[in-house]
């Protein structure tokens, strides 16, 4: 018998009324699980239905026939290989910017004690609090006419990556992690003749593996689902990510719905695989983000 964590104790469970409550809870949870999983399962299964079957009367819940030849067709017609490549490149850049830029910022604010650091941190904190609802048009303006040299950064990943570098939440996360590193450790390394740089690479980096892993995984799964700014900026077919493409596909009334479902299936698979491997990191990261705000 596994240990009970809730209100109902082993003694309680022997009573009839508690048994009823317990089993009603199980029934409700089974219904919940069905609501969570079945719609997605239906999408996965229906994506290999034929279009005729999709519109047949009476409709079928389980497909009569499977059309796996639709998969290579999808890949060739919409160039899914390229889409996957683009999305992976985009996600990799997001992860890199999130970790390096926010991580360096967090470290500097926590351990370097530079002049003006407090001001910088206060500003970053306030951008985290203040709603950024007025920013939509001015950000777009900065992208089509970059403030330095006036580049037009349409169809480029750089502005999107730079937005990842401006994640106040991650800066705060990194800073509070580095704040918890004992200062004595760094002092000791310095006394042994380490410079600032080698303290960072030899002592700090190895110790920060857990936070880097968490931020990286969260950043990757976040970037995979990014929609709004990629949709605004990546208008060229050659640079589009999967999310942008799927949005464009659902507006195309000419396209069969089974093709759209198949595309959705292939957009879900990578984050699902990531989730299976890093379940603990992702769930912990989520709980952390929820509690800290």
* Residues 236, 238, 239: CA angle, nearest 5 degrees: 75
Helices (H) and strands (E) in the chain, counts: 17, 0
Per CB under 8 A, contacts with another protein among 157-176 are: 159, 162-163, 165-166, 168, 171
Asked if residues 83 and 150 have their Cβ atoms less than 8 Å apart, the reply is no
Chain Cα centroid distance, residue 178: 23
**The only residue of 52, 187, 196, 236 in contact with another protein, by rule CB under 8 A:** 196
Least separation in angstroms between residue 138's CB and another protein is 4
Least separation in angstroms between residue 164's CB and another protein is 8
Q: Which stretch binds another protein (CB under 8 A): 63-71, 101-109, 203-211, 212-220?
A: 101-109
- 119 vs 180 by CB, closer to another protein: 119
**The only residue of 65, 81, 122, 132 in contact with another protein, by rule CB under 8 A:** 132
Cβ count within 10 A of residue 6? 8
**The only residue of 138, 150, 184, 206 in contact with another protein, by rule CB under 8 A:** 138
Residues 6+ apart with CB under 8 A from 107: 174, 175, 178, 200, 204
Per-residue x/- track, 65-94, another protein (CB under 8 A): ------------------------------
Q: Does 191 bind another protein (CB under 8 A)?
A: no
Q: Does 8 bind another protein (CB under 8 A)?
A: yes
State the helix-helix crossing angle for 80-107 and 209-225, rounded to 10 degrees. 140
Least separation in angstroms between residue 188's CB and another protein is 17
CB contact burial 45-74 (16+ within 10 A = b; e otherwise): ebbbbbeeeeeeeeeeeebeeebeebeeeb
Per CB under 8 A, contacts with another protein among 207-266 are: 221, 224-225, 227-228, 243, 246-247, 250, 257, 260-261, 264
Q: Does 105 bind another protein (CB under 8 A)?
A: yes
Which residue, 102, 268, 64, 88, is CA-closest to 110? 102
- 193 vs 290 by CB, closer to another protein: 290
């Amino acid at each position: 018998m596994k240990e009970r964590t809730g209100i109902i104790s082993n003694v309680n469970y022997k009573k009839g009324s508690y048994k009823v409550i317990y089993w009603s809870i199980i029934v409700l949870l089974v219904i919940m699980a069905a609501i969570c999983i079945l719609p997605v399962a239906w999408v996965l299964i229906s994506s290999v239905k034929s279009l005729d079957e999709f519109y047949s009367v009476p409709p079928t819940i389980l497909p009569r026939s499977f059309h796996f030849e639709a998969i290579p067709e999808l890949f060739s017609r919409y160039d899914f290989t390229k889409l996957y490549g683009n999305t992976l490149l985009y996600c990799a850049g997001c992860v890199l910017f999130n970790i390096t830029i926010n991580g360096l910022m967090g470290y500097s604010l926590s351990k370097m004690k530079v002049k003006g650091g407090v001001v910088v941190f206060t500003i970053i904190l306030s951008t985290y609090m203040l709603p950024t609802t007025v920013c939509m048009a001015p950000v777009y303006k900065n992208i089509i006419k970059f403030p330095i040299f006036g580049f037009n950064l349409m169809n480029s990943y750089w502005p999107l990556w730079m937005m990842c570098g401006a994640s106040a939440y991650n800066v705060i996360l990194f800073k509070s992690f580095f704040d918890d590193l004992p200062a004595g450790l760094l002092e000791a390394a310095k006394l042994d003749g380490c410079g600032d740089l080698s303290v960072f690479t030899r002592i700090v980096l190895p110790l920060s593996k857990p936070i880097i892993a968490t931020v990286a995984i969260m950043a990757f799964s976040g970037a995979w689902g990014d929609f709004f700014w990629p949709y605004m900026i990546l208008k060229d077919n050659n640079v589009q990510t999967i999310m942008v493409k799927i949005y464009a596909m659902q507006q195309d009334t000419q396209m069969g719905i089974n093709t759209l479902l198949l595309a959705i299936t292939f957009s879900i698979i990578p984050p699902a695989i990531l989730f299976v491997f890093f379940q603990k990191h992702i769930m912990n990261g989520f709980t952390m983000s929820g509690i800290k705000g």
